[in-house]
Amino acid sequence: MAKHHVQTTINGDPIEFLCDTEETLLDVLRNQLNMTGTKEGCSTGDCGACSVTVDNRLVCSCLMLGVEANGKKIGTIEGLASGDKLHPLQQKFLEHAALQCGVCTPGFLVASKALLEKNSNPTETEVRYWLAGNLCRCTGYDKIVRAVMDAAHEIRSA
Amino acid sequence: MSDRSVPRYEAALKVTGRAAYEGEVPAVGLLHAALVEVPIARGDVVAVDASEAERTSGFATMVSYADAEPLKPSPATALIRDRAVHFAGQPVALVVADTLSAARDAARAVRVTTQARPSVTHMAQALNTAYVPAMVGRFPSVSNRGDATAALADADRVVRHRYETAANIHHPLEPHAVVCWWEGDKAVVHTSTQAVFGTRAMIAHAFNMPPADIRVISRLLGGGFGCKGQLWWPWMFLAMLAAKKTGRPVRLELTRAQMFRLVGRRQETVQDLALGFSTNGCLTGIAHHVTAQSSTHAEYSDATAVYTRYLYACPNVTTSHLLVRTNEPQPVPMRAPGTAPGLFALESAMDEAAVRLGFDPVDLRVRNFADHDQEAGRPWSSNSLRDCYCIGAERFGWARRPAQGTAVDGRWRIGWGMASTMYPAIRQAAKVRVQLAADGAVLVQCGTQDMGSGTYTALGQITADALGVPVDRVTVELGDTVLPDGPFSGGSQVTASIFPAAAAATAKLRATIAAMAIADEASPLAGQRLDDLEFRDGSIRSRSGNVGEPWANVLARKGTEGLEAEGESGATQHPDLTATSMGYGAVFVEIGVNAGLGEIRVRRVCGAFAAGRILNPLLARSQYVGGLVGGIGMALHERTETDRATGRMLGETLADYLIPTHADMPEFDIALIEEDDPHLPGSVKGIGMLGTAGIQAAIANAVFHAVGKRVRSLPIRIEDVLGRR
C-alpha cells in the first residue's frame, strides 16, 4: 500500500514524513526521524514513557498513528530545552536526582510540562495523580514530585 | 546539602532526550527482528515452516534451531539449539525483515508444528518432585547449627507459620534490546546487559571465537534489576545468527509481553518457618524451610532462608531450600534476591512472636541482636543494626505507637509496623584506568556498566576526590569490553568493587607526579618530602610548607603528553575472610486500611540504613527510596497470574501486572548511618538491595496492627484484608 504523506510541526519546526498506515507516531519519531528521546516502554499506553503533546494535549505516542499527526503541532522532549539552556523542570530533575536509568524521564518531563501549562500552582496530590500514568521502576517517584513542585515554584516566581 | 551530593554524571543527557541507549544505535541497512513463539507449555517442535513467511513483504530471513545447532552446547544455547518446549510462549525462531511491522507480519506467517506433552504449570502439582539443589547462590542449600528440632520441642513459646510470596517480574522501563553486526569474523554487539564481560564470554563460547573478536557495548542501561543477564543470551544469539546469515545489522527489541516470560522473574516461594523462644524473649531455635519454583530447562534458587542463619543470635538454626521444576518461565535474581522473600517470612514471624510474648517489636529484635556471625563463627566487619533500630524508631516516633487496632483517621484504620533488612557486602575483581592530560583533564575508564544506579557518578567522584580535582574535570567511560575488565552489575557490589581499583590507579598517578615535582628544580615543591605532599583543589601541595602548584604544571613542564595508570583489585575471598560484612537497616511504616473497601495505602516510611561510608548522599537516598518503592510493589501489588490449564500467563501488560505508581507513593524519611569499616576498602558497602527488603514484613505487620488480620502471603491485596481469601 502507498505510504501516507504527513505534514506536521514538531517542536516548532515544520516536518514532513512518509509513513505506513500501521506505523504509530512513536515508530515515526524513533525510527524515521531519529528522535529517540521519546521512549518506548510498553506500546500499550500503560507506562507513559512515550508521552508527547499533540496540539498541547498530553498523549501516549504509542497509541496514536503517524498519519494522525497530519496538521498537528507535536511537542517532544527534544523541544524542552532552549539550546543549551535547560527548562526549569529539566534543571530541577537534575538537582533532585529525580532520575536513575532515565528511560521514564522524558515522559515524566513532557507530562509535567503539560501539567504546569494547565495548572501553574498544583498541589502535591495533583502532581502525584497527574503523573500516575507515568511508571518508573528506579527512583521511587518521591524525588520526581519534589522536582515538579520546585520547578512550578520557580516558574511562578520568574 | 553535602558537597558529596553531586548530581548524576549523565543527567543532562537523560533530561534532554539525548541519552542514547543501545537499542537506539543507528546502523546502515538495519533489519528488524521478531520472535516466533509457540503456545504449548511442554512438548517438542516438529517443524518450523517459513514458506508462507518468505512471501510476505520485506522478509529477509528466518533463523531457528537448524541455524543454532552449530553453536556450542551450554545453558545459554540450550533453549535455541533444542526442539524441546519448556514453557508457553517460548520462542522457537526469529524472523528479520526491512521494518518492524514486516518482521511481525512474517513471524505470524511462520507455521510451527508442535507435539504437546503433559505439563506441570504450578509448583503445587509436583511437590513430590521437590529436590534439594546443591547450592543457593554461593551458599549451601542446607544448614544446621546446634539442634533446632530439639530446641523447638523444648521452647517456652513457638511461632510456626507458612509464608508465601508470588512470582514477580523485574520490568525495567527499557525492554531488552540488541543491535548487532558482523565485521568479517568479528562481532559488534550493542545490548542492554548488566554484564558486558559475561556476555562477551558467552558469545565467545557459543560461537567458538576469541573474546578479542567480540565487542559488547552497554554504555547506558535502562534499568535491569537482575533480568538483563543470562536469560537474554539465547534471544540475543538468534539476532546475531540472523545478522551473520544476512550480512546486515539486526535489531531485536523484546515486547513488554515478552518481558513477562523470556528474561526471568522472582521465583515463587512457600516458606515454613518456626521460631522458638524462652519466656524472656530470647530465640532458642529457628527452622526455616523454603520450597520454590525453577524451570525445566535451568536451575535457580534464591538464598531465601540463608539470611535467617545470620540476622539473630540463636544457638539452634536449621534452614533448607527445595526446588520444584515446572513448565513456567525461569527465575533469576531480582532486586534483593533472597532477602526480600526470606525476610518477609522471618520479620513477619518476629512480629507475631512479639505479640505472643508481649514485647515491643523493636525491643524483641534488640534483645536478639547477633553480636557476631554465629554461622561462620567470626566477627562482623561492622554492624550498626542497633543504631538503625534506635535512630529509625526515634525519627519515626515509634515510642508513640498506638495500641493495636485503635488508631483511626476518618475512613482509614491506621497501623504501624517495622522490620529489619540486611544484605551481604561483597566485591568482584575490577580494573580501572586513569589518564591525566597535560591540561589537567582526567579520564577514568572501566568496562563495567551503569545500570542506572549511579556508577558513572560514583567512579567520577572517587577519582576526583583522589586527585583533588573538581568532579567536572573528570570524564568517565563505562560499559564497553574494550575498556578494562569490570564487574557485572548485580548484588550491590559495583561501587565497592571499583573503589579499590580506582584508588590504586590514582595512588600510582599521585606518586608519579609527586616524584616529578620533588625532582624538578623549577617546581616550588623541589626537594620536599614525599609523605608531606597532598592533592587538593587541582594542586599538589606541601602540608607543612604551604607551597604548591597545579599538578598540571608539573606535567606541562615535562612536556609529557600526559600520564596513565591502571589499578586492579580482587574479588572477596569468602573462605579467607576474618570478618563477615553486611549492610543493615530498619524500616518503619505507617499504613492506612480503608475500613469499607479494604484498600491499603502506605502513608509514610522511615528507613534507617547503615552500609559503610556513603559516597554520594543524594544518590544513596535516591537508591533507598527506589528500593523501598520496589518493596511496596512486592508487598501490595506485584503478582503474575498463570492459567494453570495451559501454562500461559494472563494479562501480559503493565495495566494487568500492578506496580506502584506516583499516586501510591508515601512520605519518606531516610536516615543514612555512616560506618567506618576497617575490613573494607574505603569502608564501602553496597546499598542497592537494602531498601528493597524488610519493608514487605513492615507493611504486613502494620496491616495486622491496623486491623488485627495477619496476612502471610504476598502481595497483600484488598481481598486478603476483606477476608474473602
Predicted local confidence at residue B724, as pLDDT = 53
Supply the DSSP symbol for A54.
E
Q: Are residues A99 and B256, on separate chains, in Cβ contact within 8 Å?
A: no
Residues with Cβ within 8 Å of residue B629, at least 6 apart in sequence: A139, A140, A141, A142, B660, B664, B665
- Tell me: the pLDDT tens digits for B610-632? 999 999 999 899 999 999 999 99
Is B430-571 the same fold as B266-426+576-721?
Answer: yes
Show residues of chain A in contact with B662, CB under 8 Å: 127-129, 131-132, 134, 141, 144-145
Query: What is the crossing angle of helices A105-118 and A88-95, to 10°?
Result: 130
Show residues of chain B in contact with A40, CB under 8 Å: 175, 253
> Is it the case that residue B2 has pLDDT exceeding 70?
no
A 10 A CB-CB count for B205 gives 17
Secondary structure, 3-state, B191-258 = ECCCCHHHHHHHHHHHHCCCHHHEEEECCCCCCCCCCCCHHHHHHHHHHHHHHHHHCCCEEEECCHHH
Show residues of chain A in contact with B2, CB under 8 Å: none
Give the number of A-B residue pairs with CB atoms closer than 8 Å.
175
- How close is the nearest chain A Cα to the Cα of B24, in Å? 7
Show residues of chain A in contact with B253, CB under 8 Å: 40
- Residue spans per domain, chain B: 11-118+175-220+229-262, 266-426+576-721, 430-571
Show residues of chain A in contact with B11, CB under 8 Å: 93-94, 97, 99, 102
> Residue B358, Cα to own-chain centre: how many angstroms?
37
**CB-based burial, B670-699: b 16+ in 10 Å, e otherwise:** bbbbebebeebbbbbbbbbbbbbbbbbbbb
Q: Which CATH number among 3.40.50.10490, 3.40.50.300, 3.40.50.2300, 3.30.365.10 corresponds to the domain B430-571?
A: 3.30.365.10
Nearest to B626 among A22, A100, A129 (CB): A100
Q: Are residues A20 and B101, on separate chains, in Cβ contact within 8 Å?
A: yes
Cell of A136: 518508573
Helix (H) or strand (E) holding B433: strand B430-437
- Tell me: the pLDDT tens digits for B490-511? 888 999 999 999 999 999 999 9
Q: What CATH architecture is B11-118+175-220+229-262?
A: Alpha-Beta Complex (3.90)
Residue B625 to residue A100: CA distance in whole angstroms: 12
DSSP helix/strand/coil, A12: coil
The dihedral sign for the CA sequence B614, B615, B621, B627: negative
Residue B335 to residue B74: CA distance in whole angstroms: 26
Predicted local confidence at residue B7, as pLDDT = 86
Comparing C-alpha atoms, which of B257, B451, B456, B101 is closest to residue A103? B451
Q: Are residues B15 and A93, on separate chains, in Cβ contact within 8 Å?
A: yes
- Tell me: the pLDDT tens digits for B463-490? 999 999 999 999 999 999 999 999 999 8
Residue B643 to residue B39: CA distance in whole angstroms: 12
Cell of A50: 512515550
Residue B197 dihedral angles phi and psi, to the nearest 5°: -75, -40
Residue A139 dihedral angles phi and psi, to the nearest 5°: -80, -25
Show residues of chain A in contact with B629, CB under 8 Å: 139-142
Supply the DSSP symbol for A32.
I
Strands B283-295 and B317-326: parallel
Residue B648 to residue B658: CA distance in whole angstroms: 18
Q: Are residues A37 and B16, on separate chains, in Cβ contact within 8 Å?
A: yes
DSSP helix/strand/coil, B80: helix
Q: Are residues A103 and B171, on separate chains, in Cβ contact within 8 Å?
A: no
* Cross-strand partners of B541: B534, B548
Residue B401 to residue B113: CA distance in whole angstroms: 63
Q: Are B646 and B88 contacting, i.e. CB atoms less than 8 angstroms apart?
A: yes
Cell of B528: 620536599
Is domain B266-426+576-721 classified as CATH 3.40.50.300?
no
Q: Are B430 and B401 contacting, i.e. CB atoms less than 8 angstroms apart?
A: no
- Tell me: the pLDDT tens digits for B321-332? 999 999 999 999
Name the band, by pLDDT with cuts 50, 70 and 90, for residue B5. confident
- How close is the nearest chain A Cα to the Cα of B282, in Å? 36
Name the band, by pLDDT with cuts 50, 70 and 90, for residue B116. very high
Write down the H helix ranges in chain A. 25-27, 88-95, 105-118, 124-130, 142-157
Arithmetic mean of pLDDT, B271-282: 97
> Residue B487, Cα to own-chain centre: how many angstroms?
13
Residue B34 to residue B47: CA distance in whole angstroms: 18
Predicted local confidence at residue B558, as pLDDT = 86
Show residues of chain B in contact with A34, CB under 8 Å: 26
Q: For A47, which residue in chain B has the nearest alpha carbon? A: B654
- Tell me: the pLDDT tens digits for A78-135? 999 999 999 999 999 999 989 999 999 999 999 999 999 999 999 999 999 999 999 9
Nearest to A102 among B452, B625, B626 (CB): B452
Cell of B169: 517480574
Predicted local confidence at residue B725, as pLDDT = 47
Arithmetic mean of pLDDT, B402-426: 97
Give percent of chain B with pLDDT exceeding 90: 93
Side chain identity, residue B319: T
- Tell me: the pLDDT tens digits for B59-113? 999 999 999 999 999 999 999 999 999 999 999 999 999 999 999 999 999 999 9
Helix (H) or strand (E) holding B540: strand B539-542
Q: Are B640 and B420 contacting, i.e. CB atoms less than 8 angstroms apart?
A: no
Q: Are B220 and B10 contacting, i.e. CB atoms less than 8 angstroms apart?
A: yes
Residue B151 dihedral angles phi and psi, to the nearest 5°: -65, -40
Q: For A133, which residue in chain B has the nearest alpha carbon? A: B661
Q: Are residues B223 and A138, on separate chains, in Cβ contact within 8 Å?
A: yes
Q: Is B231 left (phi over 0), alpha (psi -120 to 50) or beta?
A: alpha
Q: Are residues A41 and B173, on separate chains, in Cβ contact within 8 Å?
A: yes
Q: Are residues B220 and A132, on separate chains, in Cβ contact within 8 Å?
A: no
- Tell me: the pLDDT tens digits for A65-88? 999 999 999 999 999 999 999 999
Predicted local confidence at residue B3, as pLDDT = 74
Name the band, by pLDDT with cuts 50, 70 and 90, for residue A1. low
Residue B546 to residue A109: CA distance in whole angstroms: 49
> Residue B513, Cα to own-chain centre: how many angstroms?
39
- How close is the nearest chain A Cα to the Cα of B320, in Å? 32
Residue B231 to residue B225: CA distance in whole angstroms: 13
Q: Are B489 and B483 contacting, i.e. CB atoms less than 8 angstroms apart?
A: no
Q: Are residues A145 and B99, on separate chains, in Cβ contact within 8 Å?
A: no
Residues with Cβ within 8 Å of residue B694, at least 6 apart in sequence: B339, B343, B347, B419, B420, B421, B585, B586, B587, B631
Q: What is the pTM of this model?
A: 0.96
> Is it the case that residue B1 has pLDDT exceeding 60?
no
Predicted local confidence at residue B560, as pLDDT = 81
| Mean of the per-residue pLDDT values of chain B | 96
DSSP helix/strand/coil, B491: coil
Residue B623 to residue B69: CA distance in whole angstroms: 43
A 10 A CB-CB count for B581 gives 23
- Tell me: the pLDDT tens digits for B305-344? 999 999 999 999 999 999 999 999 999 999 999 999 999 9
* Cross-strand partners of B130: none
Q: Are B308 and B317 contacting, i.e. CB atoms less than 8 angstroms apart?
A: yes
Residue B273 to residue B163: CA distance in whole angstroms: 8
Give percent of chain B with pLDDT exceeding 70: 99
Supply the DSSP symbol for B403.
P
> HSE (CB half, 13 Å, CA atoms) of A108?
34
Arithmetic mean of pLDDT, B566-582: 93
Give B585-630 as a DSSP string.
EEEEEEEEEETTT--EEEEEEEEEEE-B--S-HHHHHHHHHHHHHH
> Residue A150, Cα to own-chain centre: how many angstroms?
19
Cell of B484: 578494562
Domains defined for chain A, CATH in brackets: 4-79 (3.10.20.30), 88-157 (1.10.150.120)
Show residues of chain B in contact with A31, CB under 8 Å: 99-100
Nearest to A128 among B453, B626, B662 (CB): B662
The total number of residues written for chain B in this structure: 725
